[in-house]
Amino acid sequence: MRIVYQDKKKGVIEVVPETLDDLWHLSHIIEKGDLVSSLTSRRIQDSTGERIRSDRGIKKTFFMGVRVDDISFHKYTGKLRATGTIEVGPEDLVPLGSFHTLDLKLKNSIKIQKEHWSKWNLKRLKDSIKSSKKPTALIVAIEDDVADIGIIRQYGVDYYGPIIGSVSGKRIVQKNRKQAINDFFTELAEVIKGFKEVNTVILAGPGFSKGDFHDFLVQKYAEIAKMTVLESTGAGGRTGITEVLKKGVIEKMATEGRIAFEIRKVEELLSEIGKSSKLVAYGKKEVGEAVQTGAAETLLVIDEMVRERDIEKLMDLTENMGGNVVIISSEHDGGKQLSALGGIAATLRYPLTRT
């Protein structure tokens, strides 16, 4: 993400998203009531009114702005859409005041105008710019001839796979088995090679398969082998990927550690709840009491709730009283567990006094 223009007096910030993560961040920064403008394309019919069957109209590109009523992020299609009434655009091409969905795309500048930029919106914007400079990691969990890949994003994990070989089976002869292993490893290496932005690959799983695959990479894919680290887990598949995240391996390697950090924070909270500890609070009412009395040491908030003004006030108050605020993505397992607790929780300095 890059900031290309800023006018603090008018509340305008213009950015250029460069990755899917950037669009995800913007889906939480853009709010209902914001004026969002970007380039869009439309086919305009011949003004003479003559209809030619083969003529689909002239495609014109221009700047359009909508007053946002809804913002939606579609991670599987890589699209961010802002829906609202048109307030900015050439009047001869678009009817102002009509309803329109604006597709916000990678590499296109997006101008956001707010009545008020909260410090949490600005913090998220700065964090996204900082995070975009960090390398991306893959976790490859291998067990026998099955491999799953976890692509570590800032919002969570995108899963790819499984990639399945034909190594297993009693009837396969030794010669064919060697060829099957080679084919499986080659297919997996080519998939990893396709992720151009990756700087770190963690090979995880039980048994010897991960080590055998690493040896194969050293011999035939040296560029991948150089950025590869081995990590033992009790299982392969998505379970193995989750185990790597909980261990904090990614954080230690100074890669995309945000997701691992968030998951561990939620795990610590759940551990305290499991022990029936009095040093935790969850749900709006209980957490609100903890923050108001200064008992909240670390406040965990699901990203979907940050837009709510009462939650924003609790976040501000927590920091003002020397506490820490951690925003948890709703896209990973840790976020889903926090959502089940009401989307907001806190670890406490001391137990709450209840009457």
In this predicted structure, what is the pLDDT of residue 197? 75
- Count the neighbouring beta carbons within 10 Å of the beta carbon of residue 96: 12
Phi, psi of 321 (to 5 degrees): -100, 15
Task: Note the Cα 114 to chain centre separation in Å.
Answer: 23
The helix-helix angle for 258-274 and 333-340 (nearest 10°) equals 40
3-state secondary structure of 264: helix
CA distance 123 to 274: 33
Strands 99-104 and 146-152: unpaired
DSSP 305: G
Q: Residues 297, 346: contact at Cβ < 8 Å? A: yes
pLDDT score for 238:
93
Phi and psi at 27, nearest 5°, equal -65, -20
Tokens of 200: 């770190």
CATH topology assigned to domain 136-256? Nucleotidyltransferase; domain 5 (3.30.420)
- Distance CA(255)–CA(9), nearest Å, equals 36
pTM to 2 decimal places = 0.58
Identity of the amino acid at 199: N
Q: Which 3 state secondary structure label does DSSP give 206?
A: coil
Report the alpha-carbon distance of residue 57 to residue 290 in Å, rounded.
61
User: Which CATH number is 2-47+54-117 given?
Assistant: 2.30.30.870
Neighbours of 26 (CB within 10 A): 23
Is 186:145 a contact under the CB 8 Å cutoff?
no
Q: Are the C-beta atoms of residues 60 and 93 closer than 8 Å to each other?
A: yes
CA angle 193, 258, 119 (to 5 degrees): 130
Fold of 269-348: 60s Ribosomal Protein L30; Chain: A; (3.30.1330)
At residue 10, the pLDDT reads: 93
In the chain, where are the structural domains located?
A: 2-47+54-117, 136-256, 269-348
How far apart (Å, rounded) are the C-alpha atoms in residues 188 and 87? 49
How many Å is the Cα radius of gyration of the chain?
Answer: 25
Task: From first to last of the 355 residues of the chain, give the pLDDT tens digit.
Answer: 889 999 989 999 999 998 787 888 899 899 999 999 998 877 666 555 454 444 556 778 888 999 999 999 887 677 899 999 999 988 777 888 999 999 998 889 999 999 999 888 998 898 888 776 555 789 999 998 899 999 887 777 889 989 998 876 545 555 678 888 999 999 999 999 998 878 889 999 998 999 999 999 999 999 999 999 999 999 999 999 999 988 877 666 544 457 778 888 999 999 999 998 899 999 999 999 999 999 999 999 999 898 888 999 999 999 999 999 999 988 888 999 999 999 999 999 999 876 5
Distances from the Cα of 346 to the Cα of 36, 172, 229, 341, angstroms = 34, 56, 35, 11
User: Do residues 23 and 106 make contact, with C-beta atoms less than 8 angstroms apart?
Assistant: yes
d(CA 75, CA 91): 33
